[in-house]
Structure 1
Amino acid sequence: MDLLDASLGDIAARLLELLEIDRAATAIGAISGDALLESAHDWEAIGRAGDAARTWVAAEIAYESRRELDTTGLAYQHGFSSAKKLLAASTNVSERTAATRIVLGQQLRSSVSLSGAPNPSFFPVVESAFFAGRVGVDAASVICRTLSEMVDRTGWSDTTEQAERHLVEAAAATVGSISHAVGGDAFERAPRLYTVEEIARLAIRIREHVDPDGAEPRDQIKQSLRGFSYPKVGADGMARGRYALPPLQLGVFLTAIDSVLSPRTPDHSESGTASRPAEEAEEDGGASSSTDVEAVVDTRTFEQKILDAVMSLIEMAAASSAVSRLNGAAPTVNVHVTLDDLASGRGVGWIDGSTEPIPISTVVQLQCDGDTVPTLFGQHGEVLNHGKTQRLATRRQRRALAARDGGCVMPGCTVPPSRCQAHHVIPWVSPRYLPGKTDLDNLALLCPFHHATIHTSAWTLVMINGKPHVKPPGWRDPGRTPRPAGHQRARRPW
C-alpha cells in the first residue's frame, strides 16, 4: 500500500486486518511468550502515532473554535458551545477524553504567523518527541502539566528548557549527558527506562528544585480542592462517593489504614501477655489455631479490605469518649426489624438513611457488637421493644476477652483485640436466653471480617468450659472435633 495514495480510512482498515491476523495466530499458539511482548511493543508504537494524530486534530479543532471567532467558529457553526463538546460528539469519546486531547494539543501546537515567522509551541522539545512517537500521551501530559505549574510562577528560562529536555530524554530512555545541570541532584538521575509514574515523580522533584518557594501556594491550592462527598445511594442500593486528599491528609489516611491492614503485633495493653516466640507455638496444646487448624481463607479483595479497615477506624472513633455527642448519646445506628424475622433468622432489617434492606444475618451481627438501637415490631407494625440494656460487652468484659482470646479466635487470623468485636456465640436473641445474654461464657472476639461471615462459614464456633472452640468443616475433619481457639497462653497446656 502506497501511504501517499491511501486514505486514512484505508490505513485503518489495513491495521484492523493485521490485528485479526495477530489474534488468529495467538489463538492457535503461533504467537506467545516473547513474541507477544514484541507484538505489544509494535502495536504501542502504532498507538502512539494514533495518539499524536488525535491530539493534533483536537488542537486544530479547538483553534478553529476559539472564542474570538464568535459565530464563525467551527464549534458554533455545528451547534456546539465548545470544541470539547464538538469533538466528543463527532468522535464518540467522552468529554473528559476530548478535553485531555485539547489541553495537550494546545500546549504542543506550533504555527506560522501571517508574516511567515514561526510561532513555537509552549514545549517544543515535548512536541518534537511526541509527534515523532518517542514519548506517549501519558508521559507528554505529565511533563507539560508539571512544567506549566513551574512556569506559571518562575517564567520561561534556560532552566525550564533544560528541565523539559531532561524529562523528555528520560521518558524516551535516551538520556544524554547533563553534567552541566543546574546544581543539586534533581537533574542528574535518569539512567534507565522510566515508567510514567517515575517520570511524574522526577518532574515534581525538578519543579520543587527550580521553584522551592512555590510549595506553599501549591499546597494551598490542593487544600482548597480537598473534599469528601456525601454518599449517594444508587438504584442498586450501593452508596458511592468521591474524595480528594491533599498530601498531609493522604499520609494520615495511609498510615491509619496500614496500621489496620498490617499483620498482628502483640497488644500487651489489652491482653496482658508477653510477645510470643515462634518456637512456643506448639507448647499451647492447641492454643495456636494456625498450627492445629487450617487457616480460614480471606477471600476479600484489596479494595474490600481497605473499606473494612476504614469502617473499623470509624467504629473505634465513634466508640471513643472524645467523640462528639448527639443529644448526649454516642453516634448510633437505628435498625428496624420484626420480632418474627429476628427469631426465625429469616427476613430483613432496615437502617435509617438507606432505602435498601439488610439481611437478618447482618442484623444479628449488629446485635452482637454494634452501636445500634434495635426497634422490634410486631405483626401489625406495633413497637414491641426499642433497645436493650447490657447487650454490648462492658469494658471489663472486653479486657477479660482480650486476655482470654488474645485477638480474633478464628484459625489463622491475626487481628489484635483492639480491632475485634465481641460476638455472641449463642445469638443474643435466642429462646435459650431471653431477653438476651451478654456473659463472658457466651462471648468470643472476632475481627469485623469473620464477624460478618461466621453465620455463613463452614466453621462453627462453640463454647466449652467458658472458652471458645472451633469446629472445622466436615471435609477437613469428618468428626468436626472442637479445637481450642484463640491465642491465650496462660491456661494449662493439657
Structure 2
Amino acid sequence: MVEELALADDVVAACVDAPAWALPEPELIAALDAAHRLERRLAAVKLTLVRELDGRGTPRAQGASSTAVWLRERLRLTIPAARRLIDLATALDTGNPGIRQALADGHISVDQARVITDTATTVNTSTDAETADKAVGALVGWASQFDATHLRKLGTRILDHVAPDIADAAAQAALDAEARRAARDRHLTLSEQTDGRLRLTGTLDAETAGLFRATIDPLTAPSGPDDTRSPGQRRHDALADVCRLALRSDELPDSGGDPAQIVVTTTYDALTRQLGAGALDIGLQLTPDTVRRLACDATILPTVLGGTGQVLDVGRQRRLITGPLRRALVLRDRGCAFPGCDRPPRWCHAHHIHHWADGGTTNLDNAVLLCGHHHRHLHHSDWIIQLGHDGHPEFVPPAWLDPEQLPRRNHYHRRT
C-alpha cells in the first residue's frame, strides 16, 4: 500500500504543475470532477488507516493520551476534527458496508458519508437491517443531487420513503439521536493569537446555550445613551464580568493546590514606574495599565528570574510541589511538558524527575509539569526526562520508538 500511495503521490505532484490554462473547458471540468472523485477515494483509504491504528492501540503505545491527540500531533488536525475522523472511521468499519463502498467509489463525500452513517444508525434502532439497507441506498442515490446539509434534512424523514408505517416513531428516535450528537460534538476551542489576544470558537449544546444566554444577556444591554460599544463588544465585556464573578465566588475548584486565580509576571521596577508590561501564566501579554490595575488587588510573590526569564530560585525545600514552587514551575513549563500535549497548567501534576523516595529534591531543577495521562505514562514507560541546556525539560523516547533517542520538547506552550 505504501508503494502504491507513493506512486499516486508522484502522479498528483505532476498534475499540480500541469498548465491548467491550456485545457479546453470540457477537459477542465472533467479534470475537476476527476480530482474531486480522487479526493473522496483517498478519504476512504485514510479512514481505513485511522481505524486500523486506533484498533491496534498504536497512539497510546507511543505515549499519546488518545488517538485524537496523536492525530493532532501527527497530521496537525484540531482535536474536534480528529475525533470526527475517528468516529467516522469506526462507523464505516462497523456499519453498513455500502456507505464505505460509496465513498471508496468516489460517489459520496466525507461529509455525506457522515450524514448517511448517522441516519443509518438511527434507522437501525427502530427497524430491521433490510429497511436500514434501503435507507442507505436511497441516501447514497440522493447524494448525487444534494449536499450534506440537505441530505441530513432528507434523512430525518427517510422512513417516509422506505418504511412509512413506522416513520413517526423513528422521527422521535431521530430527535433523540440528534440530541446525542449535539452532546458528542460540544466543544470550546481557545486559540492564542500572535498579538496576545485569545480567539474563542466552539459549539454549545442546547442546554449550555440556554445557560450561556441567560447569564450574559442581562449584562449585554447598553449601559446608557453614551455607550458606543458594538453588540459583540458588549458580549465580550459581559463574559469578562461573568468570569470575575466566578473568581470571587470561592466555589471554583482548586488549581494544583492553589485557589483559582490569574498569575501575572512583571518586574518590580516596571511595576512601580508604571512602564512595564506583564505576562499571564498562559502566555498572553498585558499592558502596563492593566498590570497596575490588577496589582491593586493582588498578592505579590518575589521570584528570582535569570536573564532569559527562567526561574532560578523560589527558596522552598519540601516534598510536595505546591504554592510558590508550583507557580514557578507553571511559569517555566506553561502546561504539560510532554511532547505534543497541550493540556494547560491547571490540569497538570507536578512530577519529580528524580523521585523523592529515591533521594530526589523538591526544587525547580527536579520538577516538571505533566497532565494526568502523561504522569501515569511516564511512571510506566521507558521515557527519560532531563533538563536541557536552557533549563527547560526535554524527553528522550525509548529506543523502540526512536532508535537514535533524540530528545523531544513540547512546542505547544512556546511563547516566542
Q: Same fold (TM over 0.5)?
A: no
Shorter chain as denominator, the TM-score bin is 0.3 to 0.5
Comparing both structures, which one devotes a greater share of its residues to helix? 2
- Structure having the higher Rg: 1
TM-score, scaled to structure 1: 0.38
TM-score, scaled to structure 2: 0.44
